[in-house]
Structure 1
């Protein structure tokens, strides 16, 4: 596809598709050009470089988030909805978790989300400084929970590229981890329960449980 028929929106959408499929390590102008049926050099007419492309892709997915109307819902409902929506975005696009470790991320979509997040905690009764801390604590909690899914996706891609036996390697690793866990009483007791699946599996609703506990703790800090 010649550069005259390309546009930035098309390039960014395709970059998101490539990132979802191949992760941050799989994003390069040659691979992107192939998906666009275009020469890699044509892409450079619309984006400066890979770092610029990551920023544009990040802002594209950040715009997927819906923002609660604080005139119609209370702060706790709004905070829960925003955190849950954010977690969903990170798990749909696990490369975004990787990007936080390698890039300074900013853009209109992220700013829009961050501004509403601060408004939520100010509506709860926090001072400006406290709202900053509360929003940061919840964001960090969500990002940390999504890191597991991002790591699994990255490892699976890596193993698949190497020898197409990713599932076998992962299963072997989990078997060894369970063998070690069985030497420790509390881990063994959990693995021996009828509902147990594997050592790496988290408890059902663990994200919701932790978020609820975190918001409970923040609520107790209001007016302290």
Structure 2
């Protein structure tokens, strides 16, 4: 793929696929370039470095979290829906759970989520710091529940895949 046809969106989508399959330990510019059909250096035309890429993909997956309309549902339904949707997103992308330990994720998609969850808890009667604590408590609870799936994903990826039994081995 020529540099002029490679886009930031392609890089982000492909990086998410790579991370979902290989985890944090599998993300490097050489592997990403190979999947894109481009040289690793071509990726650097669109992202500064691996950490920048991780922040971009980390923000992108926040679009997967449902943001219910508070005019259509009550706060409790909205909070439950958002928590379940967040959990589903974290289980789909276990690398994100691992990355929370070393990266601060921010961006427009994450900000949209944060604004909505604060609005949910403000609709419940919390205000200011209390709304922040309520949102953080639920986030921490959901993150903790997704941690198990994340912890088991990494060893599963590292295990060698079983091969088909050879006809020469053990044949009578």
User: If the length of structure 1 is used for normalisation, what is the TM-score?
Assistant: 0.71
Larger radius of gyration: 1
Q: Is residue 95 from structure 1 mapped to residue 105 from structure 2 by the alignment? A: no
Unaligned runs of 5+ in 2: 163-172
SS of the residue 1:89 aligns to: helix
Map of 1:56 onto structure 2? 56
SS of the residue 2:157 aligns to: helix
SS of the residue 1:102 aligns to: coil
Q: Is residue 116 from structure 1 mapped to residue 116 from structure 2 by the alignment? A: yes
CA distance in 1, matches of 2:30, 2:127: 49
Counterpart mapping for 1:61-210 below 5 A: 61-160=61-160, 164=161
Higher-helix-fraction structure: 1
CA distance in 2, matches of 1:92, 1:85: 11
Counterpart mapping for 1:13-28 below 5 A: 13-28=13-28
Would you say the 8 A contact 1:97–1:146 is kept in 2? Answer: yes
SS of the residue 2:159 aligns to: helix
Would you say the 8 A contact 1:59–1:107 is kept in 2? Answer: yes
Q: Which has the higher contact order (CA 8 A, sep 6+)?
A: 2
> Runs of 4+ in structure 1 displaced over 4 angstroms?
none
CA distance in 2, matches of 1:79, 1:129: 17
- What count of residue pairs does the alignment treat as equivalent? 162
Would you say the 8 A contact 1:2–1:39 is kept in 2? Answer: no
Alpha-carbon distance, 1:101 to partner: 0.8
Unaligned runs of 5+ in 1: 166-224
